[in-house]
Amino acid sequence: MPSLKQAVAEKKAQEPTLRRNPEIDAKLDKFIQENPKLIEYYQGLSKDDLIRKQMLGKMQRSEYANGRNEEIKTWVEEHPEIKAKIEERLRNVPAANRERAFINAAKTEAMNQTVRPAGTSVRP
């Protein structure tokens, strides 16, 4: 029986594989069958082009998320009472996790400020 260290080394040596969800796979297979020109397009791309295409999407999502986070930070800075409330909630959060926790708390506060409870009217 291999030791834990050997088992971990063997696991790391394996090729990385995607986790598969049978329902998603079935939907994907159907989509591929319904779009033969699209699959032909992707099959014609080189591995480098496919990687760049994938990374472009990830980069764009990251840029969008970073822009939203900056908007949230700016909004919090414009509302000192909300900033104080968030900082109070985060006082025990470790420094390494504080920025992510701050963004999440700020998003929650922004939603609470903009979403009105059911039954309240905007008009007087």
Residues making up the chain, counted from first to last: 124
What is the dihedral sign for C-alpha 80, 82, 85, 88? Answer: negative
Give the pLDDT band of residue 117 (cuts 50, 70, 90).
Answer: low
Mean pLDDT of 74-79: 92
C-alpha–C-alpha distance, residues 39 and 50, integer Å: 12
Model pLDDT, residue 19: 83
CA 90 centroid distance within chain: 22
pTM score > 0.85 for this model? no
pLDDT in tens, 24-76: 999 999 999 999 999 999 999 999 999 999 999 999 999 999 999 999 999 99
Check whether 123 has a pLDDT greater than 90. Answer: no
Model pLDDT, residue 122: 47
Give the pLDDT band of residue 2 (cuts 50, 70, 90).
Answer: low
Sequence spans of domains, the chain: 22-113
Quick one: which of 90, 65, 92, 115 has its CA closest to 82?
90
Poorest-confidence range of 52-56, 91-95, 109-113? 109-113
